[in-house]
Amino acid sequence: MIAAPDREVPSSPIQLITSPFTRFAKMEAASGIVLLASTIAALVWSNSPWEHSYHTLLETPLTVGFGKFVVTENRHHWINDGLMSLFFFLVGLEIKREFLVGELSSLRRAAFPFLAALGGLIVPAILFLSVARDPQLHRGWAIPISTDIAFTLGLLAVLGRRIPVALRVFVTALAIVDDIFAVAIIAMFYTSQIDYLSLGMAIGGVLVSLVANVLGVRKPTVYAVIGVAVWWAVLNSGVHATIAGILLAFTIPARNFLDKDQFVGQSEWLLARLKEARPGSFEEHSILHTLEKKAEMADSPLHRIEHGLQPWISFLVMPLFALANAGVDVRHNLSAGLTHPVGIGIIVGLFLGKPVGISLLSFAAAKTGLAQPPASVAWRQMFGAACLCGIGFTMSLFVAGLAFDDDGMLSITKIAILAASVLSGAAGAFILATSKASSTADEADNLGHAAKEA
């Protein structure tokens, strides 16, 4: 018997050309690699002799719409207010899925990553405010509280099998809780004047989407049309437009309309008929079409939309965001970024505050019995992962753009975010690469015995 090949052999010239790119896209670390490449490109471009073209490209106005429904923004704002809404929509889908069937689906399972994320919010914010004491700088307090899930999980993937699966699951759950906090903070603290009429229209659109869910509407196109209307209303309401993505995500149907046993039974019957059908016949095409519909009914719209949207977010939206926001003139702003109170507050908050806050509340939760830590994960590994959570990049840059309008201050925040993210990534990777796996419970007991002996 001939063994099946490990990899699918390209069957056509176009597959032969695209197969290397397809294999790369399936890598766990692929999105982080593309995000890093976009960040480097932005830094090189904005510090090159062609820096003028970089800023011209981003500041060129672009008008989209028809009739009275027209929006004119420069390309930078289209990326931050438009495309990033898709990113937040995906975040919302992930949050909903985690609440339904994931690590946040029960109070006991959610407690540990929730408390860890809370520590990773409180300590960085306190450290930032203790350094940047000027009240005019306080708007930046939320910059060092966020974790970049793409870079963090990408680094964990690069470290390979030495990272326990339980630790990856914990970091993913922690990052999702972190996103929940970040979205709530953006909505509460970075919204100025509110147009209640537009806000009411947005809420009405969300209710329409919810009704469509209840009625059993499964077509993504319907939710896309409603989503564009809600996004436009939120954009005009004064609330940041990305909040529309989160709100809409929670209205997407998460249930399937054909259970597993029904799907298997009906599929087996159709496959038996398919074997007997004449190749190329109408019956064959009809059976294949029916199988496709049955598979669609057996899968939830939430999962299908999330699965379809993920590559676009990972390989288009996030790289474009990095390209548009990571460009900073380090030749003239490097010193200020590392010495200004805001810059120091961000670096201290991300590089020190994140791991300290996450570790302290995690350890306290485990020792008091409030929550159960992941099994077979050493506390050293937990601390290494907590250090990786200091990679704030995407969300930190996003919040920085909401907190400060001044170009000089934005340059300071970007340099500090980049510096803190590099330091956090290097420290976390080193700790994890040099760690030996052991049980968190055993280490906690050992720490307790050592404390008693002392």
CA dihedral 326, 328, 331, 334 (to 10 degrees): -80
Contact between 154 and 428 under an 8 Å Cβ cutoff? The reply is: no
311: left (phi over 0), alpha (psi -120 to 50) or beta: alpha
> What would you report as the CA-atom Rg of the chain, rounded to the nearest whole angstrom?
24
Q: How many angstroms separate the CA atoms of 44 and 414, rounded?
A: 14
Which residues make up the CATH 1.20.1530.10 domain(s) of the chain? 29-57+107-185+318-453
- Residue 330 CB neighbour total at 10 angstroms: 17
pLDDT of 15 reads 57
Cα 203 to Cα 196: distance, rounded to the nearest angstrom: 10
Phi, psi at residue 66, to the nearest 5°?
-150, 150
What residues contact residue 43 under an 8 Å CB cut-off, 6+ apart? 326, 327, 328, 330, 418
Closest Cα partner for 338 from 403, 408, 395, 417? 417
Q: Are 124 and 144 in contact (CB under 8 A)?
A: yes
What span, in angstroms and rounded, lies between the C-alpha atoms of 396 and 188? 16
Take residue 185 and report the two structure tokens written for it: 């903070």
What distance in Å separates the CA atoms of residue 385 and residue 429, rounded to the nearest whole number? 8
Q: Is the dihedral of CA 226, 229, 232, 233 positive or negative?
A: negative
CA-based nearest residue to 167, from 400, 9, 433, 374? 374
CA distance linking residue 155 with residue 29, whole number of Å: 7
Please check whether the domain covering 29-57+107-185+318-453 is classified as CATH 1.20.1530.10: yes
- Reading the chain (454 residues) residue by residue, the pLDDT tens digits are 344 444 555 556 655 555 554 554 455 577 888 888 999 999 999 999 998 999 899 999 888 777 777 778 889 888 988 888 898 898 889 888 888 887 787 887 789 999 999 999 999 999 999 999 999 999 999 999 989 888 888 888 888 777 888 888 899 889 889 888 988 898 888 877 788 898 899 999 999 999 999 988 888 889 999 999 999 888 888 887 778 888 899 999 888 777 777 878 888 888 888 888 888 888 888 888 888 888 777 788 888 888 889 889 988 999 999 999 888 888 888 888 899 999 999 999 999 999 999 999 999 998 998 888 888 888 899 999 999 999 998 889 999 998 998 888 999 999 999 999 999 999 999 999 998 754 444 444 443 443 343 3
Question: Phi and psi at residue 37, in whole multiples of 5°?
Answer: -60, -40
Alpha helices in 60-164 (DSSP H): 75-77, 84-101, 107-131, 149-159
pTM over 0.85: no
* Pair of tokens at residue 43: 């830094």
